[in-house]
Structure 1
Amino acid sequence: MMEVSAVIPVYNDRKALEKAIPESISRLEEITGSFELLIAEDGSNDGSAEYVRSWEERDPRVRLLHADERLGRGRALNRAFMESRGAIFCYYDVDLATDMVHLADLIGAVRDGCAIATGSRLMPDSAIDRGHGREIASRGYNALVRFFLGSRLYDHQCGFKAFSRDLLTSLLPNVRAPHWFWDTEILVLAEREGYRVCEFPVVWRQGEQTTVKLSDVTGMGSDILKLWWRLHASKD
């Protein structure tokens, strides 16, 4: 088994891939000699799939996972894990909003025994650059997760996470979120099961574009309540 499977979820991100793929390969080569780079391309129509195929042809470490119709972030990551071959599974956003200097820390944390490692934009030592409105929304969302779901983490939605294969094999059958709430749900379930979740501050800057819509944010608020009900009130 290879050591690291790195995944980049993609939806109409052709331009961002021009930087993300070569930067990923360069960083991963510094960390390990045994890796694959999976591009979880989720129903794009902007040439993203064709661009990744051109990389596949010249570098066998790059693999395209194409979906004809959009799966959603959570389902795309589930599929990527099923297709992956690494003992450590990590993913990060295609816009490289989290400084890639932290990739070695992310993978290193799982090497050192963390079941999950996650970057945080909201710890005291984090350095972030984003709009005031998104900052308020993020802090409010994470406060709700801590209050309703009992999490001890600062930031549940940072798109910069790594997992041991054993953890994902154990937890994924219980993760129901198909889209953006996937990140939060898997962290909360891991904490409840007593897994070691390691959070560390990162340098992060807001990307030029985001596929997160207002409806997604509203939906995640509803997802918090649904997960609370499932964990605390439902007999199912």
Structure 2
Amino acid sequence: MREVEVSAVLPVYNDLAALRAAIPRSLETLEAIAPGGFELIVAEDGSTDGSMEFVRDYEAKDPRVRLFHADERLGRGRALNRALAGARGSIVCYYDVDLATDMEHLAELVDAVREGYDIATGSRLLPESKIVRSGGREIASRGYNMLVRTILGSSLYDHQCGFKAFRRDRLLSMIPSVTADHWFWDTEVLVRAQKSGYRVREFPVRWQQGEGTTVRRKDVVEMGSAILRLWWRLHVEKG
């Protein structure tokens, strides 16, 4: 079996167009920053647009690519849990398949864990960050993250940026306590990690909003509800 230091994960759901660019760009970047060996895991669940078949073909010709397929729609959190548990690297990272965060930051992300941090995360909301997105999403993001800081006591500024790396052993020891199975997974992991004394590094990134991303009233309600549910678990149920 090949030596693997870094496992990179791409969560995918009906993202065939993005995959065509993301896989070769990922392999090129990982070759430069992980000479000790790497793997690229595509965590694909329930796609109907040919994403699975595309990755399966890529896997057949390049052993560094691994497909983790599920017939049912797992949701972001469950798909990540499955991929991270099956990863072979001591450092695991994931990023959005649309490559919204500039891939030039991947070396900094991985190096932070190499240097002793348990978790590293890109941030779109630090003063030095350079972002391009619509005003509506900007307001929603800042409001959401302010609530997480205020209600859940986080010291971080951006909890939902899809650009994170972990020491795999530390992450796996915490995963059983994480209950979120979709988009709130990112926030819950960061909040629980801080409460457990994990060392977390947040750094500014260049980020550009992908196509087709909108904020609906339903999303805002779900964001607030998820924050309150986690507060209840942490402070009332003590779990």
Q: TM-score, normalised by structure 2?
A: 0.96
What does 1:188-207 correspond to in 2, within 5 Å? 188-207=191-210
1:105 matched to 2:108: yes
Q: Does 1:139 align with 2:170?
A: no
Measured against aligned partners, the alpha-carbon deviations of 1:60-91 in whole angstroms (never above 9, x if no partner) come to 00011111010000000000011110100100
Question: Is the 2:137–2:215 contact (alpha carbons within 8 Å) kept by the matching residues of 1?
Answer: no
**How far off is 1:210 after superposition?**
3.6
Question: How far apart are the structure 2 equivalents of 1:231 and 1:77?
Answer: 22
Query: Per-residue displacement from partner, 1:137-158 (whole Å, max 9, x unpaired)?
Result: 0000000000000000000000
2:96 match: 93
Superposition deviation, residue 30 in structure 1:
0.2
- Residue number in structure 1 paired with 2:57: 54
> What residue identity is the alignment partner of 1:6?
A
Q: For the residues of structure 2 that align with 1:31 and 1:64, how far apart are their CA atoms?
A: 22
What residue in structure 1 maps to residue 8 of structure 2? 6
* Corresponding position: 1:224 with 2:224: no
Question: Which aligned pairs between 1:142-157 and structure 2 lie closer than 5 A?
Answer: 142-157=145-160
**For the residues of structure 2 that align with 1:77 and 1:16, how far apart are their CA atoms?**
18
Structure 2 residue corresponding to 1:24, chosen from 26, 45, 53: 26
Runs of at least 5 residues in structure 1 that lack an aligned partner in the other structure = none
The within-5 A match list for 1:32-51 is 32-33=34-35, 34-51=37-54
Question: How far did residue 235 of structure 1 move?
Answer: 5.2
Q: Give the match's secondary structure for 1:46.
A: coil
* Alignment correspondent of 2:73: 70
Report the CA distance shift for 1:2/1:214 in structure 2 as closer, same or farther (over 3 A). farther
CA contact (8 A) 1:145 1:151 kept: yes
Q: Secondary structure of the equivalent of 2:210?
A: coil
Q: Does the 8 A contact of 2:110 with 2:165 survive in 1?
A: yes
Specify every segment of 5 or more residues in structure 2 that has no aligned partner in the other structure, as ranges.
none
Deviations 1:41-62 (A, max 9, x none): 0110000000001100110000
- Counting matched residue pairs gives 236
Structure 2: how far apart are the matches of 1:18 and 1:186? Answer: 29
Secondary structure of the structure 2 residue equivalent to 1:2: coil
Q: 1:217 to 1:52 in 2, by over 3 A?
A: farther
The alignment partner of 1:153 has SS state of coil
Give the Cα separation in 2 of the matches to 1:66 and 1:113: 32
Q: Find the residue that maps to 1:76 and give its secondary structure.
A: helix
TM-score (norm: length of structure 1): 0.97
* Distance of 2:238 and 2:103 partners within structure 1: 43
Runs of 4 or more consecutive aligned structure 1 residues displaced over 2 Å after TM superposition: 209-218
Q: CA deviation at 1:208?
A: 1.4
- Mapped to 1, the partners of 2:215 and 2:80 lie a distance apart of 16
1:162 alignment partner, SS class: strand
Task: Give yes or no for the alignment of 1:187 onto 2:190.
Answer: yes
Q: Secondary structure at the match of 1:215?
A: helix
Change (3 A) 1:235 1:174: closer
Task: Determine what percentage of the aligned residue pairs are the same residue.
Answer: 68
Residues 1:38 and 1:162: Cα distance change in structure 2 (over 3 Å): same
